Amino acid sequence: MSPVPPGRLPLLHPDLLSADQRLLYGEITGGPRADGPQLFALTDTEGHLNGPFNAMLFSPRLGRGLQGLGAAIRYRTDLSPRVRETAILVVAAVRDSDFERYAHEPLGRAAGLTEDDVRALREGADPGFTDPFERAAWSAARVLAAPSDPLGDDWYAAARAALGETALFELSTLVGYYATLALQLRLFRVPVPDTPGHRALTTKEVAARTGAPVRD
């Protein structure tokens, strides 16, 4: 029997997966997410998938498409890592997603966000970006993540002028994907891993793992 976590779904052990589930599991744990320094754990110590990924195993064919979209957003867009992680943390704040904050605050730090930036994004405040593109992307992400913003013509014209159509498409796809994950994380009450090795990394710990300079 699969162990039951504090959340609503049983954790599926890799030894007990179907062929379709094993294929998805391998794409998650052996794909681009597994390359480079590990700033958050994809699995627990027994091999169960953490975060939104365990839920994907319950519909592996749909899960493959969903995780593939996430991989494309993170590794195959023209958005810079800093802009990408900023937008993800905007979604995490709007949707109050503890797991998305846990997973992506260290990635934001690795991408160059300062502690003040991360704190402002966590609180839904203005991080004060001075780069025009980064500021426009942050502002657009906030509007796109809002549940009922009309996205009127004037707003669209200004966003397109500041970002371009490609970035707007990529940014809106990112916001939609992470909003979907936030919904599923809330629906299934997926907890943030609470073991010491699974806490969110500090700026200095991120720098030690990645070789990036420390930004206060």
Q: pLDDT value at position 197?
A: 43
Domains in the chain, ordered, with CATH? 14-209 (1.20.1290.10)
Instruction: State the pTM of this model.
Output: 0.87
Q: pLDDT value at position 199?
A: 44
Q: pLDDT value at position 5?
A: 54
| Segment 2-19 mean pLDDT | 83
Per-residue pLDDT of 157-214, as tens digits, reads 999 999 999 999 999 999 999 999 999 999 999 999 864 444 444 556 545 544 555 4
Is 43 in contact with 50 (CB distance < 8 Å)?
yes
- Count Cα atoms within 13 angstroms, Cβ side, for 171: 29
**Cβ neighbour number for residue 192 with a 10 Å cutoff:** 18
Per-residue pLDDT of 70-116, as tens digits, reads 999 999 999 999 999 999 999 999 999 999 999 999 999 999 999 99
Per-residue pLDDT of 130-162, as tens digits, reads 999 999 999 999 999 998 889 999 999 999 999
Q: pLDDT value at position 36?
A: 66
Q: pLDDT value at position 147?
A: 86
- Residue 47 class from Cβ within 10 Å (0-12 exposed, 13-18 middle, 19+ buried)? middle
